[in-house]
Structures are given as C-alpha cells and as structure tokens.
C-alpha cells in the first residue's frame, strides 16, 4: 500500500537553499517584487529567476501553475520550479493548484518548498495527493516519490496543520490503493481482513459473514454474491469521537462486477475492479477520522460481494426479499449494487438510528452520460444536507452536482409481480436507481446518495490525482463532517 506522505519541516534559512540537491520550489508573481527566497536564488543563478518571471510565458500562467528551470548554474539543485502565486492572501483554490503542480513534478528526489509565510496545509495536502504512485503490482516497483522539505517562517506553528494534511493524504492514498487493486488480490475476504486490521487505529470493527447475514435477513445482498466463490460480507467500522446518534456512511463494495447472468460486454470489463469504489471511500474516510481523532460519531458500513455468472447465480426474473421486507423483481442482474445498498441502508438505520445517512456507489453508467468524469451525482431527500455537502465538496475541489428525485420516476420501477423492480431501463437511469434506494430510507432520515461511477476511476488526470483511481469523496465527506457533524 502507498504510505509515503513524508514531509520535513525546517525554519526559513536562505543559506540552506544553495546546498539542496533535489528540486527547489519558489513562488513569485509577474510584475511583482521577488520574495526573499526567489531573490536569493536569482542572485545565485545570475538573474535567471528574474528573467523567467518577467517573461511572457510566466505572465501567461494562472496562479498555482509553474515553470521549471532545469540544472540551474550556481546551485546544487537539479531544477528550480517557480510557481506563480500572489504574495497576499492567496485563494485556497490557487494553493490547491500549486500543490498539484508541485506534486505532479515530484520524482524520486526531495523537493525543498521555500514557502516562507505562505499557508501550507492545502498546498502540502494536494502535493502529496498528486505525487501518488500505484506500484503494488509491478515486478520491479520504482522507488516511492521523494519527501517534501518545507521551509517556513514558523515550523512549530504549522506542525499540527501539516500532520492533518498528511493524515488526509494517507486516507486518500488508501482509497486509491483499494480501487486500483485487482480483484484476484483484493477479494471480499482480503478486504475484510484489511478492515479488521484498522482496529489498531481505535476503530471498532465488526465483520458479519454469510451465515449471520442470512440470519439477519439481508437476502438482497446475499443474492448478488450467490454465484461467486468469494463469500459475501458486511463490514462495520465504528468511530465514536462524540456522543449522540451517528452519521452513517454506506459504501457499495462489489469487488468485481461481471454483470452476472446479464453479462457485461467484454471490452472494458477489466475496469470493473473499481465497482467497490464506494466501500473504498468509506474505509478511507473512517481511517481519516480515526487518525485525526475526529470529535464526531460516525459509523461506516460496507457490503462486500462479487457478482459472477454461475449455476448458482441469480437470474433475470428472480424475486428476492429485502431486509426491509419489500419484494424485489430482478430485471437485470447487472443492476446489483442497489440490491446491496438496499439491505445495508436498512440495516444501518434499523440498528444505529443515525442522524443522517450518506451512501456512495459506482452505481450507474447513466451518471457518466449526464455528468462525465468531473462531477459526482448528488441525490438527496434533504435540501439543507445536500447544500452542506455541495459546499464541502466545492471547498476541497471535488466536483459534485445535484440531481433530481421525484415520485414521477417511480412508475419506471414499478413491478408487475413484486413490489419493485431493480431497474427501469435506460431512461433516467441514474435517477431511477436513486428512487429505488430512497424506498429503503426511512422518511424522517436525512439522506444523500452519491453516484460516483464517473469520478472513481479516470482515464486521464483528475483534479488532484494521476489517471486511475481518484479517491474522490474522502476529502468532501471529511469536510462535511468537520463543518456539520463534529463537536466544537
């Protein structure tokens, strides 16, 4: 697993700049006086920094973007990276962009970030996020990215914020590692074992096996996994950093999705290792809360199954009974995630009586058609909770967009022979999936459904990640909890 989130704090020392052998990171703005670190490097490089920052190329950069001077004379450094940044009150989004710029350029060597008085938490967090590499399946893995050395005016004052940034980066790295892992490595059993190991962080962990799930009545969840040799499980991660009813976070954990008997096309099926993305975000979030000792009461629940075609697999036309008691007609076995979530949502409410519920799932291809790969779909029965989440997502630079819920869509999932069917076909596909889930949310419970199918695994760089698993959702949910669910 990726674990390198090393940062080293130093007091501001101009003399140390000349001795750094990796990459130097400076900050400047076009048309403004050079900050003192940039001035010192400019003198050592005989005016190279001043020429660069006065250039049309530098003027064309947006705040947070940068240019690189390779192998500068007069220094031991391999490169000098100059980030465009206004000196006074830089905007958070510009600090995030600067972090992404720094992290994208990070190789095996250490980087010395000459921040002086610039705020560092957001910049460091996003540098760590963008520097991420997934090497676990390489026969000859490359060394992990080099550490970030942070030169600032008051390291002691910044230490707690930097530690918090590191904890959040580790949580997102964990989420990405889980999503990137192949399905023969990360199975329902190995994932459950990894979750059990998180007890060392102070989380209370329970893992329910198939016999326990059968006794409890989670038959919709079990039906999804009955064609697989990997046993279905429900893992519960409990963090009680405050009193009162918890926030419940529910993640879809389909470790691999063939579509079952309603088999998916072969092209692109290898990406279905990401169908446990909701569970990965939930687990990453719970690690973040435990590491930073959040003053919040949160319970995470992840339903772990594998959807395979087999003689035992459920068939189109089958009817299964949910934990709630509703009878579900299975029209398409590839609409399996909502069966898992239906039972786990009801179990979470019945057992924990939460103050609110949020579920995450790589649920529909329809949400990708609607929103592409930059924004997750947000469905909610509570306007205030939805607004709070959208504000939190925007604050950390994770794209989200509210989608409609309306009873008029229920006719599309009305079953002739049962209470409800698990898909209404292509029209409004992500909305009917959310309408299906809403049936398993008690009316008085504030609820958000996040369809993250488009943002979980991307073919190109996303907001703060290289192509591949993004870890979308850990930062946004943590920001929501800090703002609305944490005791002051």
CA atoms of 143 and 346, how far apart (whole Å): 45
Q: Cα-Cα-Cα-Cα dihedral of 288, 278, 135, 230, to 10°?
A: 120
Angle, alpha carbons 251-253-259 (nearest 5°): 130
CA atoms of 279 and 255, how far apart (whole Å): 9
Instruction: Examine the residue annotation and report whether 76 is marked as an active-site residue of this protein.
Output: no
CA-closest candidate to residue 166, choices 2, 11, 281, 300: 2
Token pair of 222 as six digits: 């079990």
E-strand stretches of 308-340 = 319-321, 327-329
CA-closest candidate to residue 231, choices 305, 326, 314: 305
For residue 213, the tally of other CB atoms under 10 A from its CB is 22
The catalytic position among 121, 338, 375, 439 is 338
3-state SS string over 141-165? CCCCCCCEEEEECCHHHHHHHHHHH
CA dihedral sign of residues 103, 126, 477, 366:
negative
Query: Element (H or E) spanning 121, and its range?
Result: helix 121-130
Decide if 29 contacts 83 (C-beta within 8 A): no
Helix (H, G, I), strand (E, B) or coil at 305: strand
CA atoms of 152 and 159, how far apart (whole Å): 11
The catalytic position among 39, 104, 219, 264 is 264
Largest CA distance in the chain: 81
Instruction: Examine the residue annotation and report whether 416 is marked as an active-site residue of this protein.
Output: no
Query: 207 - beta bridge partners?
Result: 235
Residue 123, phi then psi, degrees to nearest 5: -65, -45
- Residues forming the active site: 264, 338
């Amino acid at each position: 697993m990726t674990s390198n989130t090393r940062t080293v704090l130093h007091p501001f020392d101009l003399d140390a700049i000349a001795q750094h052998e990796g990459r130097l990171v400076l900050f400047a703005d076009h048309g403004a006086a050079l900050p003192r670190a940039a001035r010192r490097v400019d003198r050592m490089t005989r005016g190279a920094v001043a020429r660069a920052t006065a250039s049309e190329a530098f003027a064309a950069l947006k705040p947070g973007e940068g240019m690189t001077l390779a192998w500068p004379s007069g220094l031991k450094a391999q490169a000098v990276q100059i980030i465009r940044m206004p000196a006074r009150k830089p905007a958070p989004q510009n600090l995030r962009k600067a972090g992404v710029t720094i992290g994208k350029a990070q190789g095996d060597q250490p980087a010395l970030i000459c921040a002086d008085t610039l705020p560092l938490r957001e910049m460091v967090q996003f540098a760590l996020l963008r520097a991420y590499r997934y090497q676990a399946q390489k026969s000859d893995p490359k060394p992990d990215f080099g550490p970030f050395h942070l030169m600032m005016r008051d390291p002691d004052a910044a230490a707690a914020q930097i530690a918090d940034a590191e904890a959040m980066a580790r949580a997102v790295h964990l989420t990405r590692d889980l999503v990137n892992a192949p399905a023969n490595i990360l199975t329902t059993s190995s994932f459950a074992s990894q979750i059990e190991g998180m007890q060392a962080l102070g989380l209370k962990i329970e893992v329910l096996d198939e016999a326990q799930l059968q006794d409890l009545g989670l038959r919709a969840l079990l039906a999804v996994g009955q064609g697989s040799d990997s046993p279905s499980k429900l893992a519960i991660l409990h963090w009680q950093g405050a009193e009162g009813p918890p926030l419940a976070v529910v993640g879809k954990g389909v470790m691999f999705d063939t579509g079952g008997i309603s088999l998916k096309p072969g092209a692109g099926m290898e990406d279905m290792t990401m169908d446990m993305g909701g569970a990965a975000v939930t687990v990453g979030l719970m690690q973040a809360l435990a590491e930073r000792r959040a003053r919040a009461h949160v319970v995470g629940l992840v339903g772990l199954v594998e959807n395979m075609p087999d003689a035992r697999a459920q068939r189109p036309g089958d009817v299964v009974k949910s934990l709630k008691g509703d009878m579900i007609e299975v029209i398409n076995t590839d609409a399996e995630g909502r069966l898992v979530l239906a039972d786990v949502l009801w179990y979470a409410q019945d057992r924990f009586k939460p103050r609110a519920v949020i579920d995450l799932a790589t649920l529909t291809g329809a949400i990708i058609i609607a929103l592409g790969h930059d924004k997750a779909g947000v469905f909610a029965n509570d306007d205030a909770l939805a607004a709070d989440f959208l504000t939190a997502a925007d604050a950390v630079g994770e794209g989200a967009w509210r989608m409609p819920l309306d009873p008029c869509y229920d006719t599309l999932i009305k079953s002739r022979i049962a209470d409800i069917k698990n898909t209404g076909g292509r029209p409004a596909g992500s909305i009917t999936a959310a309408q299906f889930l809403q049936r398993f949310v008690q009316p008085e419970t504030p609820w958000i459904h996040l369809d993250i199918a488009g943002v979980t695994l991307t073919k190109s760089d996303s907001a703060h990640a290289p192509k591949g698993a993004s870890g979308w959702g850990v930062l946004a949910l943590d920001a929501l909890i800090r703002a609305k669910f944490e005791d002051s």
